[in-house]
Chains A and B, each alone.
Chain A
């Protein structure tokens, strides 16, 4: 996988026959689930059901789903603030995800961390700090540890274009390159870091070119094409698993909404937003599935219905869960001897 310039849509290498169908419908289901959960999270915030903030990833689902869908149960994800849904892809129960938004005692962190910053130890998603790029170095350390332990497990690290400016990013990738660590760096380049456009963030056109400096492959891919991302990611994962080291994947994509729910995003033009909405990853993939006769109206409805029901149950669970008691303030500061 050499560094490619410009948009490189990888050739599909989907299994043929039943397996291929299973995979593609599975990816579609996951895209739908992430989209619906994310939109629900936004609505709940707007309804004042929880405080804090939420960083929607709507529009970027294909990058996230494509990159993480084929991970094994024992693999790890180091998410950032916009990757709440990576927990869903990795298999976290929706009830816990919504309890996390609400800061309830039933959330994985018992209300300690903020709504979007979710990790769930049983499925190996790391609870992120809000400090940008922090998870990169920690994820790299996990990869280092896994390699030391002789495991064939891998780490996928998610981050945005802004994160690539921080020192911690460069230090992490350099270390991973030196030790050929089993980690896949997935940059979701959505063109904006809060209000700062890409041109003020980097002089590069393709962020994947950075990989050259650390001695491992980098590839830029259409981040709204779930199969393209899936293809590049599964190869990178296989590479990492077999001991060949890291890969940098730049997914070129776009967030539909503001940086967070309190950002009206006035710094972008309407035209820019509309042009990306026309490339909705869900609609694009739906068309592929319909052309292949893998998706019917009936199946689509069924998926939507199932997810809706699951979400409703999760929200109800979260709403009915209690807040942690004030007496828990000093819990979990020290390990219990």
Chain B
């Protein structure tokens, strides 16, 4: 049976069910135990599973990830929480030197089945250090999987898939969706496959490639365009690494146009990679330039409201991009 849940409820439910099902699963991070997490993602787990399986760690992201890597090497299934994506930097060493490379450097002798839940994203007045959407940093590292759900259904299914995946999976959660994204979520067990995009809206006139919070904005923009007779197809990537090239290419070959929308900064963002794939594989199918609507190349989202507003991608900016592309 499915009920309507918020994204945060779907995330909590996935962890609770998997901890119930699999003794090896445990969660660790800052403020996740007693207090149930800054955004209450782990609410109730401490009471249910106790402090051995719901571990409040010292304030040290590097150690949270490195120790989770070690625990996974002896067969446990850690879910480590990074409170804000901004503070993943002390764990950069553990993620890119340890987690992503342990299988490769041991020729498969060791593996790392680790899930890192990371709260990310702007548009909530969080300022420079509580707003970054930096998933692309990790797409550059083979050996890591990177996912970001846009609906509660996907949030639960992708998280269950991540926990069961024998690889390190970085699972990004956009804080703006936690309580605003609501939808049907099955009570029981199911997974959403990692590496598969989902077409959220069919359309013949252009392909819009996006993910996470931006998906809802793109759908809104597509509805607006539809009133003027332009039908945009909206693809929600769901997984940034490995990228579902087939779904993107198949769509672009049909619509002959592509708009890429992401919140992260532009230069070397995932939009750059997707553009290159399309240019390499579907150049002759294009009727216009690939258009990117992204965050600007500014160090971080500033605090003052007019500055934050100027930073963020919004529906108007996406519509403008669609209009530019439709004109070709």
Interface residues of A (CB under 8 A from B): 51-52, 103-105, 110-115, 117, 129-132, 162-163, 165-168, 193-196, 200-202, 266-267, 323-330, 333
- Given the known inter-chain contacts A130-B86, A131-B87, A131-B89, please indicate yes or no for A326 contacting B125, CB distance below 8 A: no
Give A322's nearest chain B residue, CB to CB.
B306
Whole-angstrom distance between the Cβ of B45 and the nearest chain A Cβ: 14
Give chain B residues whose Cβ lies under 8 Å from the Cβ of A130: 86-87, 127-130
- Given the known inter-chain contacts A113-B128, A201-B58, A201-B59, please indicate yes or no for A323 contacting B305, CB distance below 8 A: yes
Give the docked Cα–Cα distance between A17 and B58 (Å). 47
Whole-angstrom distance between the Cβ of A57 and the nearest chain B Cβ: 18
- Given the known inter-chain contacts A200-B56, A201-B58, please indicate yes or no for A52 contacting B311, CB distance below 8 A: no
Interface: B31 (CB within 8 A): yes
- Given the known inter-chain contacts A52-B125, A113-B128, A114-B129, please indicate yes or no for A195 contacting B305, CB distance below 8 A: no
Contact check, B56 vs A195: say whether CB atoms are below 8 A apart.
Answer: yes
5 A/B residue pairs, CB under 8 Å, sorted by A: A130-B127, A130-B129, A202-B58, A324-B307, A329-B310
Contact check, A330 vs B298: say whether CB atoms are below 8 A apart.
Answer: yes
Give chain A residues whose Cβ lies under 8 Å from the Cβ of B307: 111-112, 323-324, 326, 328-329
Contact check, B60 vs A165: say whether CB atoms are below 8 A apart.
Answer: yes
- Given the known inter-chain contacts A130-B130, A194-B35, A196-B30, please indicate yes or no for A165 contacting B306, CB distance below 8 A: no
- Given the known inter-chain contacts A168-B90, A195-B35, A330-B296, please indicate yes or no for A52 contacting B310, CB distance below 8 A: no
Give B88's nearest chain A residue, CB to CB.
A131
Give A170's nearest chain B residue, CB to CB.
B60
B interface SS class? loop
- Given the known inter-chain contacts A130-B86, A194-B30, A333-B299, please indicate yes or no for A103 contacting B305, CB distance below 8 A: yes
Whole-angstrom distance between the Cβ of A103 and the nearest chain B Cβ: 4
Contact check, A267 vs B129: say whether CB atoms are below 8 A apart.
Answer: no
Give chain B residues whose Cβ lies under 8 Å from the Cβ of A200: 56-58
Within 8 A of A (CB), among B303-324: 303-307, 309-311
Whole-angstrom distance between the Cβ of A270 and the nearest chain B Cβ: 16
- Given the known inter-chain contacts A103-B304, A132-B59, A165-B59, please indicate yes or no for A329 contacting B298, CB distance below 8 A: yes
Give chain B residues whose Cβ lies under 8 Å from the Cβ of A113: 127-128, 302-303
> How many B residues have CB within 8 A of the partner chain?
37
Per a CB cutoff under 8 Å, which of A131, A166, A325, A329 touches B311?
A329
- Sorted from nearest, which 10 A-B pairs have the closest CB atoms? A111-B304, A130-B129, A195-B35, A114-B127, A165-B58, A326-B310, A162-B59, A103-B304, A51-B125, A112-B302
Whole-angstrom distance between the Cβ of A268 and the nearest chain B Cβ: 10
Contact check, A103 vs B303: say whether CB atoms are below 8 A apart.
Answer: yes
Interface: B242 (CB within 8 A): no
Give chain A residues whose Cβ lies under 8 Å from the Cβ of B34: 195-196, 267
Beyond A114-B128, A114-B129, A266-B35, 18 additional pairs, beta carbon < 8 A: A111-B306, A112-B302, A112-B303, A112-B307, A117-B127, A162-B59, A165-B58, A165-B59, A165-B63, A167-B90, A194-B38, A195-B56, A196-B31, A196-B58, A324-B307, A329-B296, A329-B302, A330-B296
Interface: B183 (CB within 8 A): no
- Given the known inter-chain contacts A112-B128, A130-B86, please indicate yes or no for A326 contacting B306, CB distance below 8 A: yes
Give the docked Cα–Cα distance between A202 and B63 (Å). 14
Interface: B62 (CB within 8 A): yes
| Contact indicator per residue, chain B 282-299, by CB within 8 Å of chain A (1) or not (0) | 000000000000001111
Interface: B126 (CB within 8 A): yes
Give B128's nearest chain A residue, CB to CB.
A113
Whole-angstrom distance between the Cβ of A337 and the nearest chain B Cβ: 18
Give chain B residues whose Cβ lies under 8 Å from the Cβ of A333: 297-299
Give chain B residues whose Cβ lies under 8 Å from the Cβ of A328: 307
Give the docked Cα–Cα distance between A193 and B309 (Å). 32
Give chain B residues whose Cβ lies under 8 Å from the Cβ of A323: 304-307
Give the docked Cα–Cα distance between A329 and B38 (Å). 29
Give the docked Cα–Cα distance between A328 and B303 (Å). 12
Give chain A residues whose Cβ lies under 8 Å from the Cβ of B296: 329-330
Give the docked Cα–Cα distance between A77 and B313 (Å). 37
Give the docked Cα–Cα distance between A166 and B307 (Å). 32
Give the docked Cα–Cα distance between A165 and B60 (Å). 6
